[in-house]
């Protein structure tokens, strides 16, 4: 379907239709670029070796659940941007309606992904208390499990922490405080426990991707509104006979 030519006497509904077309073009470009950023961050978080090593050794697999959801949502948004452009160019109400519905699905996925990620990747979320118990466990088995002892030493040294809550965790179970609990430069003992430091470490990564995903979700509210409004306007103009419809003309 094609719009009539633009002129000063153009009806208000047709001028609004043109504005929505321009808006949807800009929206789809911005959505595509934002989705690329989310996808890139998600893949980096998932496959960065140092970070991946911590997740695997701590068995912190729940952190990746939110990342997977956001990666999937970003991939769908990238494909959906092309569908939105096609629907806008062709002024096809059916495509625009489908596009609006799929945007709603992506919106739900993004909100779900952000919720899961923040609940398993920020300070004082569920993951904080999970990490507290996990580090206690690592301390208890460090004498008998070499692999668990190794990841505990690595995290304490690289992240800069000691024990789960503090060095008292070692003292309370009659174990010597390891050298990894001390700053190599100053020799001072780290004051922060590993469950706090590790939660902040996760938050530094999850915060960025969650923030960008929320921006995209808010942006999509505008896209959903514009696409469905444009669809309604096209139907209205078609019923008024102001939009060229090649199917109807061929039957005339």
What is the per-residue pLDDT across 52-87, written as a single tens digit (0 to 9) for each? 999 999 999 999 999 999 999 999 999 999 999 998
Whether residue 251 is contained in a domain is answered as no
The per-residue pLDDT for 169 is 97
Whether residue 226 is contained in a domain is answered as yes
Least confident of 141-150, 208-217, 227-236: 227-236
Is the pLDDT reported for residue 114 higher than 70? Answer: yes
State mean pLDDT over 17-26. 90
Is the pLDDT reported for residue 121 higher than 90? Answer: yes
State mean pLDDT over 221-234. 91
- What is the number of structural domains in the chain? 1
The per-residue pLDDT for 131 is 97
Higher confidence at residue 7 or residue 137?
137
For position 117, which CATH number holds? Answer: 1.10.1450.10
The per-residue pLDDT for 239 is 80
Whole-number Å distance between alpha carbons of 196 and 164: 8
The distance from CA 117 to its chain's CA centroid, rounded to whole angstroms, is: 8
Confidence of residue 1 (pLDDT cuts 50, 70, 90): very low
Whether residue 46 is contained in a domain is answered as yes
Whether residue 34 is contained in a domain is answered as yes
Q: How much of the chain is helix, strand and coil, in % rounded to 5?
A: 75, 0, 20
DSSP 31: H
Confidence of residue 242 (pLDDT cuts 50, 70, 90): low
DSSP assignments along 187-244, one per residue: -PBP-S-HHHHHHHHHHHHHHHHHHHHHHHHHHHHHHHHHHHHHHHHHHHHHHTT-SB
Helix (H) / strand (E) element for 68: namely: helix 62-90
Q: Which domain holds residue 89?
A: 17-236
The per-residue pLDDT for 237 is 79
pLDDT > 90: percent of the chain: 79
Whether residue 246 is contained in a domain is answered as no
Q: How many residues appear in the chain? A: 252
Whether residue 1 is contained in a domain is answered as no
The per-residue pLDDT for 248 is 45
Average pLDDT, the chain: 90
Contact yes or no for 190/182 (Cβ under 8 A): yes
pLDDT digits (tens, 9 = 90+) for 37-50: 999 999 999 999 98
Whether residue 63 is contained in a domain is answered as yes
Whether residue 180 is contained in a domain is answered as yes
The per-residue pLDDT for 245 is 46
Confidence of residue 11 (pLDDT cuts 50, 70, 90): low
The per-residue pLDDT for 241 is 67
């Amino acid at each position: 379907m094609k719009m009539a030519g633009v002129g000063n006497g153009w009806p208000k509904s047709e001028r609004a239709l043109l504005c929505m077309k321009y808006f949807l073009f800009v929206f789809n470009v911005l959505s595509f670029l934002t989705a690329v950023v989310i996808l890139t961050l998600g893949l980096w978080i998932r496959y960065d070796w140092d970070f991946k090593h911590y997740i695997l050794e701590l068995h912190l697999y729940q952190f990746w659940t939110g990342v997977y959801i956001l990666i999937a949502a970003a991939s769908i948004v990238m494909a959906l941007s092309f569908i939105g452009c096609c629907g806008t160019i062709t002024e096809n109400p059916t495509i625009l309606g489908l596009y609006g519905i799929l945007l709603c699905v992506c919106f739900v996925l993004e909100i779900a992904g952000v919720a899961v990620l923040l609940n398993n990747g920020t300070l004082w979320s569920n993951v904080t208390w999970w990490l507290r118990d996990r580090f206690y466990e690592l301390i208890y088995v460090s004498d008998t499990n070499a692999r668990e002892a190794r990841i505990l030493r690595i995290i304490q040294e690289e992240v800069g922490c000691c024990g789960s809550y503090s060095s008292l965790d070692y003292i309370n179970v009659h174990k010597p405080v390891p050298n990894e609990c001390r700053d190599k430069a100053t020799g001072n003992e780290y004051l922060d426990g590993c469950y706090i430091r590790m939660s902040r470490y996760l938050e530094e990564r999850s915060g960025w991707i969650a923030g960008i995903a929320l921006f995209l979700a808010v942006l999509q509210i505008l896209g959903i509104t514009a696409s469905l409004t444009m669809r309604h306007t096209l139907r209205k103009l078609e019923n008024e006979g102001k939009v060229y419809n090649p199917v109807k003309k061929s039957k005339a």
